[in-house]
Amino acid sequence: MMGKVAMNKSLFENQQMRLQLVANAVQQQFPENFLQITWPLNELTLVCSPVDIKQLLMFLKQDASCLFDQLIDLCGVDHLSQPKRFEVVYHLLSLRNNIRVRLKLPLSLGEPVSSIVDLFPNAGWYERETWDLFGIPFEGNPDMRRLLTDYGFEGHPLRKDFPLTGYVEVRYDEAQKKVVYEPVKLAQEFRRFDFISPWEGMLQLPGDEKAKGSKP
């Protein structure tokens, strides 16, 4: 048991050393474009500007101290109350060095990001999904269409200001013999609930008559 713990500790220390080399290499290569290095839960997170994002990712992929040759995930985040409302988050994996890195890209509303399909071909689907759900545009994506919602869908459903009911609803129109889109119509006015238990309005709750004769 002690040997396994020691082996895991040694592996962790080796990974931390490799990640520190990655952080140092990125700082030396991109001193002006770099914004912040953080280590949440001992994981390397690089927070940078969208300027030259492709050059940074190319460096992370090709540099000998990095070799992050796999894009594991690309997603969006909506921070509604912040000036830089959105984030694009990249997760990269280096199989050769057995380390991972997270890259965050703060963006303003409508600010475009360069597509990285030419560096990581699987990014095409991730970028389409992020555009569909958050409305973050990726310049250079060869097929920037909606992915999870319908072609007639309005808005971007993972934005925090998107209404829960949506903007339109669909139904099959028998007369037109096709699916039609219509504005959402609620069946009733929004009701306000006070969340008070209906039992609290009763003079006597069921079972209280048994408690009256019981001793404390």
- Along the 216 residues of the chain, how does pLDDT read in single tens digits? 555 556 566 777 888 899 999 998 988 888 776 778 888 888 899 998 887 788 899 999 999 989 999 999 999 999 998 989 999 999 999 999 999 999 999 999 989 999 999 999 999 999 999 999 999 999 999 999 999 988 778 889 999 998 888 888 888 999 998 888 888 876 655 555 555 555 555 556 566 666 555 555
The end-to-end CA distance of the chain, in Å, is 54
Longest dimension (CA), the chain: 82
Q: Which pLDDT score, from 0 to 100, does residue 153 have?
A: 81
Residue where the block lists tokens 């082996």: 7
Whether 115 and 141 have beta carbons less than 8 Å apart is answered as yes
* Domains of the chain, first to last: 2-207 (3.30.460.80)
Whether 66 and 60 have beta carbons less than 8 Å apart is answered as yes
Using alpha carbons, select from 79, 68, 133, 134 the residue that is nearest to residue 102: 68
Using alpha carbons, select from 46, 22, 61, 60 the residue that is nearest to residue 102: 46
Whether 145 and 129 have beta carbons less than 8 Å apart is answered as no
Q: Which pLDDT score, from 0 to 100, does residue 193 have?
A: 52
**Exposure string over 131-150, b if 16+ CB within 10 A, otherwise e:** bbbbbbbbeebeebeebeee
Q: Which pLDDT score, from 0 to 100, does residue 166 have?
A: 81
Residues 6 or more apart whose Cβ sits within 8 Å of residue 124: 115, 117, 141, 142, 143
Q: Where are the alpha helices (DSSP H) in 48-122?
A: 53-62
SS3 6: helix
Using alpha carbons, select from 166, 171, 117, 165 the residue that is nearest to residue 143: 117
Q: Which pLDDT score, from 0 to 100, does residue 7 have?
A: 57
Tell me the two tokens of residue 185.
């119509």
Residue 72, judged by CB atoms within 10 A of its CB (0-12, 13-18, 19+), counts as: middle
Q: Strands (DSSP E) along the chain, which ranges? A: 34-38, 45-48, 70-78, 86-94, 99-107, 113-114, 138-139, 168-173, 178-183
**How far is it, in rounded angstroms, from Cα 90 to Cα 130?**
12
